[in-house]
Amino acid sequence: MGLLGDSITIRGGKPLIGRIELKGAKNLVTKAMVASLLGETPSVLKDVPNISDVRIVRGLLEVHGVNVVEGVEEGELIFDPSNVESAHFADIDAHAGSSRIPILFCGPLLHRLGEAFIPDLGGCRIGDRPIDYHLDVLRNFGAVVEKLPSGIRMSAPNGLKGAKLELPYPSVGATEQVLLTAVRAEGITELKGAAIEPEIMDLINILQKMGAVITVDTDRVIRIEGVDRLEGYTHRALFDRNEAASWAAAALATEGDIFVGGARQGELLTFLNVYRKVGGQFEIHDDGIRFWHPGTPLNPVFIETDVHPGFMTDWQQPLVVALTKASGVSIVHETVYEQRFGFVDALVDMGATIQVHKDCLGGQACRFGQRNFNHSAVIVGPTRLHGADIEVPDLRGGFSHLIAALSAEGTSTVSNVGIIARGYENFITKLRLLGADFSTED
Ligand code: EPZ
């Protein structure tokens, strides 16, 4: 999509059938790009998807003096950090857009330049998404954090030193912050309460290729021995398991049959179990996974989102659309983000029966239980969705709106679809390949 006009008109009710190919995971690739700042020599990253989050990070690297060029293979980027330099606050701000990635530049830039700036951070509108863990971690390494009206300035007058750290919650970003900072800090860092998502493990693979010494113990403990010098890396990014789960849900919701090339079983185990319980069919192949609707009624399920190895928060939104078609009552308890059910309003407008509740429904009490957040959803099916005019609220919610429109009877206009291009490469082309009936504004 040539970042098309911002809306598409979908004539729903047609099953999505065909094959699409995945590239590297957005949530690894963007961090791997930041890691290139730590090397003394160029890095080569393969399977980089053409998504706007990648373009944002590329722009941020370039304003910091990193030379970024395309390699010979499609999706290959080469990063040369020989001339890393401080960037102007206004340039960082202009390139960062609404991304949260600038916070992860801090450790590498403090090592290389002794200072770093971050503008006010955005990211998808899913709760407050604070950065307190990141700032605490950086302070513990010895960074001085100054809050300015337009953002945050950091410096490391005495260099960064390894630290004993413990996260209050296994945050993905804060764990990456620790990794990207500790690998070049003086001495040993021990992180308790770390997140262990596959994308984090792949970042550790990259850092080890660069020369880092990192041990992952049982019980969410990661130990890093700082080293004086890191080299560039050559790495093929882990596939995007969130995109895989999204297309799998699309196959269920539209009664279709989609082969997701590049998807692997290991990183999707938990998703596949739930998919099977809903009634979804799948077949694991060497080069991908085929997902399809059984042709019989779907089953309701109870899902609790969690950090890895639990059911990922990013998988629930697309699956909720399929659950509106299951026969009975499903419950989704969201325990990672406090406000990730904004997207269901549009589904209700399309005829779904979904109620959101402040209580922790169906499972364990979570940290949002007593805090007035609508974080449990009850979905009653089966319902037939009908077309509507809907506006995309965030990345995953947006993809679920697309699926809802594709599975609905009649015509829908989905606006603000540019957000979906943050994380789904060529989704318009993929929809065409799968036989969707729609027209774009341009
Ligand atoms: C990453 O966000 C992903 N983003 C998210 O994907 C994903 O949903 C999330 O991890 C969980 O897996 C990227 O990798 C770019 P967290 P991140 O820190 O790192 C709280 C998508 O659609 N928290 O693990 O920002 C936070 O509010 C996106 O692809 C603090 O309180 O997530 C949340 O409740 C959306 N203080 C929880 O921790 C902090 O300083 C987990 O967040 C940091 C986080």
Per-residue pLDDT of the chain (442 residues; tens, 9 = 90+): 334 469 999 999 999 999 999 999 999 999 999 999 999 999 999 999 999 999 999 999 999 999 999 999 999 999 999 999 988 888 888 888 778 888 999 999 999 999 999 887 655 554 566 899 999 999 999 999 998 887 889 999 999 999 999 999 999 999 999 999 999 999 999 999 999 999 999 999 999 999 999 999 989 999 999 999 999 999 999 999 999 999 999 999 999 999 999 999 999 999 999 999 999 999 999 999 999 999 999 999 999 999 999 999 999 999 999 999 999 999 999 999 998 999 999 999 999 999 999 999 977 899 888 788 999 999 999 999 999 999 999 999 999 999 999 999 999 999 999 999 999 999 999 999 999 999 997 6
Q: Domain 26-236 in CATH: superfamily?
A: Enolpyruvate transferase domain (3.65.10.10)
Distance 307 CA to ligand 1 centre (A): 10
Q: Amino acid identity of 344? A: V
Q: Which residues are catalytic?
A: 124
β 151-155/144-148 pair status: antiparallel
Q: Any residues with Cβ below 6 Å from ligand 1, and which?
A: 26-27, 100, 124, 127, 129-134, 169, 171-174, 195, 242, 312-314, 336-337, 395-396, 423
Residue nearest to atom 7 of ligand 1 (CA): 314
Q: Per-domain residue ranges for the chain?
A: 7-22+239-441, 26-236
Give the relative orientation of helices 241-253 and 395-407 as an angle to the nearest 10 degrees: 20
Fold agreement (7-22+239-441, 26-236) = yes
Check residue 149 and give its pLDDT: 81
Residue nearest to atom 38 of ligand 1 (CA): 171
Residue 238 — left, alpha, or beta (φ > 0 → left; ψ -120 to 50 → alpha)?
beta
Pick from 222, 217, 235, 221: nearest CA to 181? 222
Q: Specify the pTM.
A: 0.96
pLDDT digits (tens, 9 = 90+) for 382-433: 999 999 999 999 999 999 999 999 999 999 999 999 999 999 999 999 999 9
Structurally, at CATH architecture level, domain 7-22+239-441 sits in: Alpha-beta prism (3.65)
100: annotated binding-site residue?
yes
Angle at 419 between CA 172 and CA 353, to 5 degrees: 85
Pick from 386, 405, 340, 314: nearest CA to 7? 405
